[in-house]
Amino acid sequence: MDMKQPFDQVVAQRGATMLRVCRVVLGPHDADDAWSETFHSAMRAYPDLPETAKRGGVARDGRAPKAIDVLRVAKRNPLPVKETPGVEAARRAADGLRNLRKNYPGANTKGAPL
């Protein structure tokens, strides 16, 4: 017989922790949406989950990966940052080329021909 606890108890036991994790991973703006989608998906999958899932928590067993999905999408979107890493990289590349010309005057600085 299926001994799974009522789904509402899963929400009661894991809801607060899940929201904290969503806030850390995604920031406050997306946390509510991720929380909602996670528990919605978890509820859909719940009857088919193995009995052991209740111990590890339905939100952690990989069948409700909404927070991870949101994280992946967020990674592809530009993030506001204090300094653009590209500027620093370009500066270092330019320094590198200058040092190369200075130390090895005859070196090919354009790369190998295609």
Query: Under the rule (CB under 8 A), what is the footprint of another protein?
Result: 1-9, 11, 15-16, 19-21, 23-24, 27-29, 32, 35-36, 39-40, 43-44, 46-47, 79-82
Query: Closer to another protein at the Cβ: 3 or 87?
Result: 3
Query: Closer to another protein at the Cβ: 79 or 112?
Result: 79
Least distance in angstroms from the C-beta of 57 to another protein = 15
* Residues with Cβ within 8 Å of residue 32, at least 6 apart in sequence: 19, 22
Least distance in angstroms from the C-beta of 105 to another protein = 41
Contact 54, 4 (CB under 8 A): yes
Least distance in angstroms from the C-beta of 20 to another protein = 5
